[in-house]
Structure 1
Amino acid sequence: MNLSTCSITAYKSFPLLQLCIYTPVLLLGVLLNVSALWVFCCKLSKWTETRVYMVNLAAADCLLLFTLPFKTLSQFHQLKVGRWCLVLEGGYFINRLMSIAIVTVIAADRYLAIKFPLKAKALRSPLKAAFASLFLWTVIICVVTLIKKLEAREQDQLCFEKSSVEPSVVTLGAVIGGFFIPLLILTYCSIQVIAELRRKKNESCHKEKLIRKAVCIVSANLAVFIVCFLPLYLGHLLRFVMDSTSSNCSAIQRVNNFVHLASVLANTNCCLDAICYYFVNKEFKEASPKLAKSKSEGTKEAEIQLPRITR
Structure 2
Amino acid sequence: MWQVNLSTSSCHNVTSDPPSSYVFISVYSFIFIMGLILNVKALVVFFRQTKTRSHTTVYMINLAIADLLLVLTLPVRVSYLLGYTRLPQRLCDWLGLTLLVNMYSSIFLLTCICFDRCVAVTFPMSHRVKEGRKKAPLVCLAVWVITFGSSLPIFLLKSKVVQESHCFRNQPVYATWPVVLFTTLSFGFGIPLVLMLICSWGLVRAVLNSTVAQTNLVDSGKIQRMVATSLLIFFLSFLPYHVTLSLFYVYREDVPCSLLAAYRYSLMVACLNTILDPIAYYFTTETFKRNVDMEALRKMFPLNSQSSLEAEKRARNRAVCENENKGQAS
State the TM-score, normalized to the length of structure 2: 0.75
> Is 2:152 the partner of 1:145?
yes
Counterpart for residue 192 of structure 1? 202
User: Aligned to 2:272, which of 252, 268, 274?
Assistant: 268
Q: Match for 1:196: what amino acid?
A: A
Counterpart for residue 211 of structure 1? 220
Counterpart for residue 227 of structure 1? 236
Q: CA deviation at 1:163?
A: 4.2
Tell me how far apart the structure 2 counterparts of residues 160 and 120 of structure 1 sit (CA, whole Å): 44
> Is 2:162 the partner of 1:154?
yes
Unaligned runs of 5+ residues in structure 1 are: 287-311
Provide the aligned C-alpha RMSD in A. Answer: 2.7
Counterpart for residue 292 of structure 1? none
Unaligned runs of 5+ residues in structure 2 are: 291-330
Identity %: 28
Q: Conserved in 2, the CA contact under 8 Å of 1:9 and 1:163?
A: no
After superposition, give the CA deviation of every residue in 1:151-179 in whole Å (9 maximum; x if it has no partner): 36424431234448895225413243222
Q: Conserved in 2, the CA contact under 8 Å of 1:56 and 1:133?
A: yes
Q: CA deviation at 1:93?
A: 1.0
State the TM-score, normalized to the length of structure 1: 0.79
Q: Tell me, what secondary structure is at the counterpart of 2:219?
A: helix
> Is 2:53 the partner of 1:47?
yes
Q: CA deviation at 1:258?
A: 0.8
Tell me how far apart the structure 1 counterparts of residues 209 and 287 of structure 2 sit (CA, whole Å): 25
Q: CA deviation at 1:79?
A: 5.3
Q: Match for 1:18: what amino acid?
A: F
> Is 2:144 the partner of 1:105?
no
> Is 2:268 the partner of 1:258?
no
Counterpart for residue 123 of structure 2? 116
After superposition, give the CA deviation of every residue in 1:89-147 in whole Å (9 maximum; x if it has no partner): 1111111111111001111111221223314223212xx11111111111211111112
Counterpart for residue 302 of structure 1? none
Tell me how far apart the structure 2 counterparts of residues 80 and 8 of structure 1 sit (CA, whole Å): 21
> Is 2:84 the partner of 1:72?
no
Counterpart for residue 295 of structure 1? none
Q: Which has the larger radius of gyration?
A: 2
Summarize the Cα distance change of 1:97–1:155 in structure 2 as closer, same or farther, 3 Å threshold: same
Q: CA deviation at 1:43?
A: 4.2
Q: Tell me, what secondary structure is at the counterpart of 1:160?
A: helix
Q: Tell me, what secondary structure is at the counterpart of 1:157?
A: coil
